[in-house]
Structures are given as structure tokens and as C-alpha cells.
Amino acid sequence: MFRFIARRMIVKFGNHYGYDVAFMLHMLETTPDVMNAFNALSTLADYRRCVPVPAFMAAKLVGTLHEDCGPCAQLAVDMTREAGVAADQIEAVLTGNEAAMSADTALGYRFATAIVARSDDADAARDAVRSAYGDAGVIELTLAAQVTRIYPMIKSGLGYGRSCSRVALGEREIVVVNAAA
């Protein structure tokens, strides 16, 4: 019964986003118990209480783009649009155009970019987030950027993450800056 319900939920997710869920179905069929843990990742990745949506989704996009250049990146873009982030803000994150970002988007982008790259700017970016959103905001943006990285890594590890593609934003294709190669 669990497999039947889980399979339907996975297929529904895939259909909703036009996303290939073969790796999830493989996990379900091979080790069904792992799906509970896998689903818990979504709860962790979506934990947001104080950070504005544009900052949060920018951090998620950066984390995903650090590990993927294909369907997972497109999925992250589609979810960001669904969360209500303006297309110009999404494009600014995808292209690394900080001048076009709102203050919240830029804060999430800078912080996530610094921590996924482990750059020397990480402390300053963390301090800026802490100043704007408090310690809870640092936690939320850290989880947003880092937990989302695991999905493309799992997909690739299982042999399902083999393609790069351009990312579509509405009818336009966007050339992504700093995407995984």
C-alpha cells in the first residue's frame, strides 16, 4: 500500500513540473524505506519562517545550480516561479546579475554563493544575513542553499543525472552563469 501511494505521489510531482522522476521511482522500488528519509529532506529544504521568499528561493537556486545544469536546475526555476518570485529576479540569479536583484534576492544570492563556494566572503555574507534576518535567517538560508544541493547529487550518483540543458524562464531560454558543468 505504501509503495502504491508513494508511486502515485512521485508521478504526480513529476507530471506537475514536467520532471523525470525515474530516479525517485528507482529508489522507491529498490529501497522503499529510504523514501521516508528522502521526503524528510523536502521538509528541511523548505523550512522558512523569517526570511523573505525572494532571498530564500535565491539561496535554493544557487545551491541547485552549484550541483546541476539540467533538469534539476529547471525544476528549481519552476518552483521559484511557483513560489511567486518575479521572473526578472529569477533571471538575475541565473545570470549572476546582482545589479538587477532586489535587496532580499541579492542577500540570499550573495550568502548562498559564498557558502557553496566556501569563499572568503562567507563571513561577511553571513553577517549581512544575520543583520537583516537574525540567526534564524542564517539557519534558514544555509539549509535552503545546502539541502537543495543533495537532490542533483543523489540523481547523479544513481546514474540518472547525465544531461545539461538550457534553463527556460517562461518562453525564453536563459544562459546560466556558474552552473555545474
Give the Cα separation of 109 and 68 in Å (integer): 16
pTM value? 0.92
User: Does residue 30 sit within a domain?
Assistant: no
Phi-psi region at 15: left, alpha or beta (left = phi > 0; alpha = psi -120 to 50):
alpha
For the chain, the domain total comes to 1
User: Does residue 79 sit within a domain?
Assistant: yes
User: Does residue 119 sit within a domain?
Assistant: yes
SS3 assignment, position 172:
strand
Domain of residue 99, CATH code: 1.20.1290
Strand partners, 172: 169
Give the Cα separation of 69 and 177 in Å (integer): 10
DSSP 44: H
User: Does residue 151 sit within a domain?
Assistant: yes
Report yes or no: 166 and 175 within 8 Å, Cβ to Cβ: yes
User: Does residue 62 sit within a domain?
Assistant: yes
User: Does residue 40 sit within a domain?
Assistant: no
The domain in which residue 72 lies consists of 46-174
Number of H-type helices and E-type strands within the chain: 9, 2
| pLDDT tens digits in sequence order for the chain, 181 residues long | 788 999 999 999 999 999 999 999 999 999 999 988 888 999 999 999 999 999 999 999 999 999 987 899 999 999 999 999 999 999 999 999 999 999 999 999 999 999 999 999 999 999 999 999 999 999 999 999 999 999 999 999 999 987 777 789 988 888 887 644 4
Catalogue the long-range contacts made by 62-65 (C-beta closer than 8 Å, 24 or more residues apart). 62/93, 62/108, 62/109, 62/112, 62/113, 62/116, 62/145, 63/112, 63/116, 63/144, 63/145, 63/146, 63/147, 63/148, 63/149, 64/148, 64/149, 64/151, 64/152, 65/94, 65/176, 65/178, 65/179, 65/180
Strand partners, 167: 174
User: Does residue 21 sit within a domain?
Assistant: no
